Amino acid sequence: MINISAPVLGNDEIEAVKDVLKLGMLAQGPKVEQFEEAFASYIGTRYAIATSNGTAALHIALLAAGIGKDDEVITTPFSFIATANAILFCGARPIFVDIDENTFNINPSLIYGKITPRTKAILPVHLYGHPCDMKEIVKLCDEHNLALVEDACQAHGAEHRGKKVGSFGIGCFSFYPTKNLTTGEGGMITTDDKDIAQKARMIRNHGQKEKYSHEILGYNYRMTDIAAALGVCQLKKLDEFNRKRIENAKLMTQEISKIRGLTPPFVATDVKHVFHQFTIRVTADYEMSRDKLKESLKRRGIGAEVYYPLPIHKQPYYQQSGYNHCLPSSEKTAMEVLSLPVYPGLTPEELNYIVEAIRSI
Ligand SMILES: Cc1ncc(COP(=O)(O)O)c(C=O)c1O
């Protein structure tokens, strides 16, 4: 079976975890600090704050940016549910803006019309590893005095005009096992803002600046040193992992573009796409439907997946909360996308097998 993704872990990760266990400092210890410093330096921000997962990173980032009850945060409906849920955790309201059908990301030209006096932040998602149009989004934030929280959970190392995502605003990353860099579970916040960094560190650890002095409401969103030890090793390999993903994507794009009814991923000219997912579009009027193609691939041992079959505003919980409007590009896209394996551990034979299987189906 060729899974949709698989972490690439070596002996150095095993040894690094053993070292932590021998040292006995298991949570929020020296490895976490080392990982934070290395990650900040990689992204190009002054600070990085490690968290227990990407959802926690988003929640903390929004709270640190001052988002609270009845505020509005503009975001995309075409993402993993955690993006919008983090806004709800703050008592704020996600305002969904439809996507650009090429990039699958929030359409900047539709944002302006959704800004109200209650809007406090924009939360773009660099979906599948393709950066959003940050020039336009940063401009909107500056003009309207809005916080910018980037969901870079799928985009470690991706760049827009030579600048890494997560360094435009407050960056949020996930290190879940499917991600380009994994720590098992884990997350990171990146920022240049000293006050945001300090507040984020406090919220991560029960609102305390000093031990047992709880100045604000906080949570236990800490990272373990076991996770951080994995992160330090994985970060050293991230550029090579991404290079391999890009190479795999290039090969598959060449082959898939020859197959009628399938559209390979779009890559804007001014970005580095790091292919967290290699997501094709199965055109709706094609004789083989997306779901049939997915099932046929599964029968041939290929783990193709749909990210995401239902946009967030169509999820039952959101429908019950009154989100009943139509966002046509997101809804159409959710019916057409199919992600194929692209992870760095794939062999050339496996890549050829995937393409041949699609061609024969
Ligand atoms: C776009 C996006 N946002 C947020 C998250 C949440 O990250 P985590 O699963 O680490 O909490 C994920 C992870 O799946 C994601 O893909």
Q: How far is the CA of 118 from the centre of ligand 1 (A)?
A: 26
- Indicate if the pLDDT at residue 287 is higher than 70: no
- Tell me what pLDDT residue 286 has: 63
Q: Is the CB of 153 under 6 A from ligand 1?
A: yes
352's enclosing H/E stretch is helix 348-360
Mind listing the pLDDT tens digit for each residue in 192-203?
999 999 999 999
147's enclosing H/E stretch is strand 147-151
CB 221 within 8 A of CB 208: no
- Tell me what pLDDT residue 283 has: 85
Full-prediction pTM beyond 0.85?
yes
Question: How far, in Å, CA of 302 to CA of 295, rounded?
Answer: 9
Question: How far, in Å, CA of 156 to CA of 166, rounded?
Answer: 8
**Mean pLDDT score, 211-236:** 97
Mind listing the pLDDT tens digit for each residue in 44-83?
999 999 999 999 999 999 999 999 999 999 999 999 999 9
Ligand 1 atom closest to 55 (CA): 11
Question: How far, in Å, CA of 65 to CA of 346, rounded?
Answer: 40
- Tell me what pLDDT residue 68 has: 98
Alpha helices in 257-347 (DSSP H): 290-299, 316-320, 328-336
Closest residue by Cα to atom 10, ligand 1, is 54
- Tell me what pLDDT residue 306 has: 98
Q: Crossing angle for the helix pair 290-299 and 348-360, nearest 10 degrees?
A: 130
- Indicate if the pLDDT at residue 298 is higher than 80: yes
Pairing of strands 213-214, 159-160: unpaired
Ligand 1 atom closest to 186 (CA): 10
Quick one: how far is CA 64 from the chain centroid? 19
Question: How far, in Å, CA of 96 to CA of 173, rounded?
Answer: 21
193 CB burial (10 A radius; 0-12, 13-18, 19+): middle
- Indicate if the pLDDT at residue 156 is higher than 70: yes
Question: How far, in Å, CA of 153 to CA of 149, rounded?
Answer: 12
Mind listing the pLDDT tens digit for each residue in 83-120?
999 999 999 999 999 999 999 999 999 999 999 999 99
Q: How far is the CA of 80 from the centre of ligand 1 (A)?
A: 6
Quick one: how far is CA 336 from the chain centroid? 20
Question: How far, in Å, CA of 258 to CA of 40, rounded?
Answer: 41
Most informative mutation of 51, 123, 176, 182 for ligand 1 (most atoms within 8 A of CB):
176
Ligand 1 atom closest to 79 (CA): 1
Q: Is the CB of 54 under 6 A from ligand 1?
A: yes
Q: Is the CB of 151 under 6 A from ligand 1?
A: yes
Q: Is the CB of 55 under 6 A from ligand 1?
A: yes
Give whole-number Cα distances, 284 to 31, 104, 289, in Å.
49, 16, 7
